[in-house]
Amino acid sequence: MIILDLIYNLSVLVAISALSGFINQRFDRNLVSGKVLQGLLFGSATIVGMMYPFVFTDGIIFDGRSIVISLAALFFGPVSGAISAIIAASYRLYLGGSGMLMGSLVIFTSFSIGWAFHTYRTRKRISHIKVWVFLLMGILVHVVMIALMLTLPSAVRHDTFQLIGFTVLGIYPLVTVIIGKVLLDQELNSSLFKQLSESEKLYRTTFYSIGDGVITTDIHGNINQMNPVAEKLTGFSEIGVVGKNLKSIIRFVDEISLQEIENPLQLVLEKKEKVSFDAFLLIDANGNKIPVADSAAPIFDNDSKMIGAVMVFRDRANELERQKQAMRSAKSYRSLFNSIKGAAYVQDRNGLFLDVNDGAIALYGYPRERFIGHTPEFLSAPGYNDLEELKKNIDAAFNDKVVQFEFWGKRSNGEIFPKEVNLFRTIYFDQEAIIAIAQDITERKNAENALRISEERYRSLFESSPVGIILEDLEGNILEVNQTLCNDFGYKAEDLIGKNIEIIVPEKFRPQVRQNIEAIVQNKVLYSRVESLAQNNRINISELIETLVTLPDGRHGILSISKDITDQVLAERTLIKSESRNRAIISAIPDIFFRMDKDGRFIDCVAQDQSLLLVSSEELIDKTCFDVLPPALAKLTKDKIAATLAEDVLLQYEYSLYHNEKQRWYDARMVKSGDEEVLVIVRDITNKKEAEIEIQQQSKFIETLLESIPNPLFYMDRNGAYLGVNKAFADLFGFKREDIIGRSLHDMDDYEIARRNIASDQRIFDGKDKIQTLERELKLPSGETKSVILTKSPFPDTNGNIGGLIGMIVDISARKKMELDLTLARNKAEESDRLKTSFLNNLNHEIRTPLNAIVGFSDLLFDDYTEPEKHNFVEIINNNAEQLLKIIDDVLAVSRLDSEKIPLENKDFSLNQLFHDLFQTFYQKAAEKNIVLLSDTDQAKDVFEMYGDKGKIRQILSGLISNAIKYTLEGQIKIGYYMQDATISFYVQDTGIGIPPNEQPHVFERFFRGNESQLRAIRGNGLGLSIAQGLAGLMHGTIELESESNKGSLFSLVLPYVAPQSTKTEAKSIKNIVSLENLRVLVAEDEHDNFEYILMLLNGKVKEIVHAKTGLEAVRLNKENPFDLVLMDIKMPEMDGFEATRIILKDFPEIPVIAQTAYSQPKEIQKAIDAGCINCLIKPIEKEKLFNTLSELFD
């Protein structure tokens, strides 16, 4: 009934605590309002619990406030915990009664323990609390609660513990776990809800702020969302189209045929895979056709089920306009390039042809493709040219020198001809290059050759005549010609002599021949410029001086001195034509042309767009650059003029200035055009410069973006060569970036790995995979292996084809390790839960067994039994109480082994003294069962001391000896130690019932008890050997077992031997008292019942017993009249036993002080020893233990 009442009470608290989640949803626990409300809720829960408690007696009630307050402090911190504790304490004080002090202390300690666990959780940033943590906190809170029962009146203390002790220790911790799990689930759910809310906000912000149009649909194609860019492009509003089918709203047509095409989202919904369209037209709400490009992809849920689709598209209008402009620019360039007279070539630094014009094609007879990518060597006439000199000329041109030379070429038909070549440095599509202008000079070469022959003939025949001479009669018949004239006309002398002069006169001029002869006869001389017909119908232009002469035969004739001026006339005509063409070209070119003298004065200016000038061209003439330009630019111009005139080279430079309230950039080219003047060509490059600046900024942004990506990233060409990597990639592989770029996969990886990766990359280059996400084991040059996810996708080249791929590496080694750790942790947790369940079941059984005897025989004491029977009852109660105390000690030891690192208290100690103490302790117990106890230390030879934790060694050996006595029915038990190599072995050997082989592997498991021990009803809890094994492990040792059924067992504790650290130990000076009868004893004890117990034990055996209820009173009484012995309780009001001991020993260092405490843990005992106590008695104090301790001191 008691348990049912408490369970009902705790169930109500569980239900009320569940309201915490409701409050947390509306008031954040991190805000003051949330903390206060949680504190009020849990405080109210404690009041409800105290309103319906289990009432032990008037003023002593039990409920679940200890659970609620500790959990409030754990989950919501000290503010909420303190509020709930204050409310609970206030109501408990209001109820009053004899249990008020215990109830208030339980509230305070529950809050303190919960706060301590909260602090630990906060510092360690633990989000998910393990079940064992709740259980541990519940056990600690309620162990303290059990201890606080000592504050109850002594008349009800025992009955209270007997009645509800099991419930408090067994059920309350489990309820703590249940409520803790409820609150933890609420906390985790709240955290998950916040994360989902933040994710949704981020998604919506991204969706509605992205620069492309985005539309999402459900699986039926009905529109779910449409961002503002999509609204602008389609002409529809999101509100108006949500829920409607996309196919009925938006149509798409082919960009060329204008035929309607299938909706991309419909294709995604049918194929369940990503689709992309490079170009098509979107019909908006007004019927406008908008060029767009898009991609669409399916949307999957967590179960990989498609729930809809998303389409992302962009407006391509500006992109198409840029493409058209680029095409127009390319056509203009080609037209201008082909308009150059003669052959024109563009070559790179290696001499390779990059482009040729139509003139070059006509000159050589080769198609354009034959030129591109080749050097001039294939055009060279064999044996005619110095190709090394040609390379030097190309290098000179790249050094901004204007180079002119002759080159003998060979046409496609094999014809060899000369040409004159001029080289100029230029820029070809952002690439440094030279342009070569070549003219066929065959005719000029022929003329030069003819002139050379004529000069030789004239030198030999007509030394005084450098011109052609022809002699004819008045009928026009040629009588004589010189070689010069023959050369001029392409005839031999015999071809002309005897022929009429009309042979060299074009047909249209032949009627004038007779008129000219008549004019010569009349005027004696005639000066004229005529066109003559040379062989092959070639027209020569000559200047003639025709004189009337008398021939040797007396007849009149005409002597004509002919000067061939064909080249001169043609050059003049060419110059006139060139000037006209240049003017036309200059008029068509948007550049500005200036002629300036050496002083920077403007001589001439040509500008098609006068708005480009700072002043008009008319105003500019005769002004200096300092009159027109800003000072800095004027000085730069003057310096460039001086350099150009001095070096006679083409100078190119850029400058900027503000014009029409805008900064503009210009490219200037300056060349010497006279002895003291220069020609300056200025081009406005503002758009190009701004584009370059924007490209630089974008490049810098992309470079910074790539560098800021924490994951390793790389990109490579189609040949598998690395084009670039980011810093994270270089750091991962331990290479410098310049050592990676240009290398291939074979340079970086083993052959097999490289081969596999190349095959994978080829699928991307072939267009089979749009994106690859691969999980790989990556072996680094350092030898370290990492688990990674490798994501690769293609990127296009300038032609839109796949130019290479970009990849990113994500290190998932930590995730892999975490997954493995989680699996191990889950298995461990499951095993831990199973062991805990088994542990609690066994603990329940072990506690109930002695409790049953204690409770049962305690009730019988009140019945009418004889004194001997009651004496037997008391012995049974005492034995079972000792058994229960042993269980509690063992459980605490197990708990410490599982939950904390137990420190070792190493020091020098005597082995023989240890075994002497063990022999004295267990000799009587063995004798009571007629068992012979033997101590054998001879095997150790001269080893009498060691350095180690004496307390833990004694605890292990005491457990082994106790077990030997328990399981030995007759015979003997032998204890001892011996050395073997660097280890020392302590052994306990008995002639008991032994352990069967099948049970030996399990004897160190918790709660394991053999069949034989259970059949013989030998009491025990099955924890002793498990604890001994754990303590041995702490000291880097083991416990070994040898046993045979019905013959006995040998347990050996094997430890590493450490020699003593010091040679001697100082013994504490103790006041010399010869007998107990003369002792004056001071008992410092705040609990009256405990003092009465000591008084009953010592009454009549010592001279005087004085009681001090506080540590302060103990100090005062001893100072007034020093005592022979002080029994000092540790926990007392006003001053604790530690401080009181230190003060007493400071004044009277020879007085022995023995601590008496309920703290059984080694660190508490050591603390008492450190304060000066010579020994420590653990409550409950056994009579034999007390008198043995006194006997060792005073007998």
- 50-98 tens-digit pLDDT: 887 777 777 788 777 888 889 888 888 898 889 989 998 898 888 888 8
Share of the chain above pLDDT 90, in %: 13
pLDDT of 327 above 70 = no
The CATH superfamily label for domain 447-568 reads PAS domain (3.30.450.20)
| Residue, of 392 and 195, whose pLDDT is higher | 392
Q: Is 722 helix (H, G, I), strand (E, B) or coil?
A: strand
- Write out the two tokens for 797: 């080249």
Return the H-helix or E-strand segment holding 526.
strand 525-534
How far apart, in whole angstroms, are the C-alpha atoms of residue 1098 and residue 1195? 15
Q: Is 1023 helix (H, G, I), strand (E, B) or coil?
A: coil
- Choose the CATH number for 2-202 among 1.10.20, 1.10.287, 1.10.1760, 3.90.550: 1.10.1760
Read off the amino acid at residue 470.
I
Class in CATH terms, 1076-1194: alpha beta
Q: Is 635 helix (H, G, I), strand (E, B) or coil?
A: helix
pLDDT tens, residue by residue, 396-418: 888 888 888 899 999 989 999 99
The CATH number of the domain covering residues in 210-321: 3.30.450.20
Task: Specify the long-range contacts of residues 916-922, CB closer than 8 Å, at least 24 apart.
Answer: 917/954, 918/954, 918/957, 918/958, 918/961, 918/975, 919/975, 921/958, 922/958, 922/961, 922/962, 922/965
Phi, psi of 1157 (to 5 degrees): -150, 155
Q: Is 522 helix (H, G, I), strand (E, B) or coil?
A: helix
pLDDT of 832 above 90 = no
320 CB-side CA count, 13 A: 13
- Choose the CATH number for 585-690 among 1.10.3720.10, 3.40.47.10, 2.60.40.1180, 3.30.450.20: 3.30.450.20
pLDDT at site 180: 82
pLDDT of 14 above 80 = no
Predicted confidence band at 637 (pLDDT cuts at 50, 70, 90)? very high
What average pLDDT does the segment 11-15 reach? 59
pLDDT at site 2: 47
Sequence-distant (≥ 6) Cβ neighbours of residue 990 within 8 angstroms: 964, 967, 968, 971, 972, 973, 974, 1048, 1049
Task: Say yes or no: do domains 585-690 and 709-811 share a fold.
Answer: yes
DSSP secondary-structure letter at 903?
Answer: P
pLDDT tens, residue by residue, 566-606: 777 877 777 677 666 666 665 556 678 889 998 999 988 88
Architecture of the 901-1056 domain: 2-Layer Sandwich (3.30)
Sequence-distant (≥ 6) Cβ neighbours of residue 198 within 8 angstroms: none
pLDDT tens, residue by residue, 1152-1185: 999 998 776 767 888 888 899 998 988 888 888 8
pLDDT at site 1016: 56
pLDDT of 705 above 60 = yes
Sequence-distant (≥ 6) Cβ neighbours of residue 78 within 8 angstroms: 115, 118
| Residue, of 101 and 203, whose pLDDT is higher | 101
What average pLDDT does the segment 105-119 reach? 91
What residues does each domain of the chain span?
2-202, 210-321, 340-440, 447-568, 585-690, 709-811, 901-1056, 1076-1194
- Write out the two tokens for 913: 């003294």
**Tally of residues, the chain:** 1195
Cα distances (Å, whole numbers) of residue 279 to 268, 290, 798: 17, 10, 16
Fold of the domain spanning 709-811: Beta-Lactamase (3.30.450)
The CATH number of the domain covering residues in 340-440: 3.30.450.20
pLDDT at site 961: 92
What average pLDDT does the segment 953-977 reach? 90
DSSP E strand stretches across 1077-1135: 1080-1084, 1104-1108, 1125-1129
How far apart, in whole angstroms, are the C-alpha atoms of residue 673 and residue 778? 67
Neighbours of 1063 (CB within 10 A): 7
How far apart, in whole angstroms, are the C-alpha atoms of residue 1053 and residue 946? 15
pLDDT tens, residue by residue, 712-761: 988 889 888 888 888 888 888 888 878 888 888 787 777 888 888 888 88
Quick one: angle between helices 172-209 and 65-95, nearest 10? 110
Instruction: For the chain, give the mean pLDDT.
Output: 82
Cα distances (Å, whole numbers) of residue 628 to 616, 625, 632: 11, 5, 12
Return the H-helix or E-strand segment holding 292.
strand 289-300
What average pLDDT does the segment 837-861 reach? 71
How far apart, in whole angstroms, are the C-alpha atoms of residue 672 and residue 598? 10
**Three-point CA angle 1046, 1048, 1050, nearest 5°:** 155
Beta strands across the sheet bearing 416-428? 353-356, 343-347, 431-440, 416-428, 403-410
Neighbours of 241 (CB within 10 A): 22
pLDDT tens, residue by residue, 515-553: 888 888 888 888 888 888 888 888 888 888 889 888 878
pLDDT at site 333: 62
How far apart, in whole angstroms, are the C-alpha atoms of residue 779 and residue 521? 108
pLDDT of 387 above 60 = yes
pLDDT at site 331: 63
Neighbours of 1117 (CB within 10 A): 18
- Write out the two tokens for 102: 């215990």
pLDDT tens, residue by residue, 254-300: 877 778 888 887 888 888 888 876 667 888 888 888 887 777 888 88
Q: Is 479 helix (H, G, I), strand (E, B) or coil?
A: strand
| Residue, of 1190 and 1082, whose pLDDT is higher | 1082
What average pLDDT does the segment 1062-1082 reach? 61
Diameter of the chain by CA atoms? Answer: 198
Predicted confidence band at 991 (pLDDT cuts at 50, 70, 90)? very high
pLDDT of 362 above 60 = yes
DSSP secondary-structure letter at 167?
Answer: I
Mind giving me the DSSP string for 1037-1061?
-EEEEEEETTTEEEEEEEEE----S
- Find, among 474, 478, 473, the residue nearest to 503 by Cα: 478
pLDDT at site 36: 87
Return the H-helix or E-strand segment holding 596.
strand 592-597
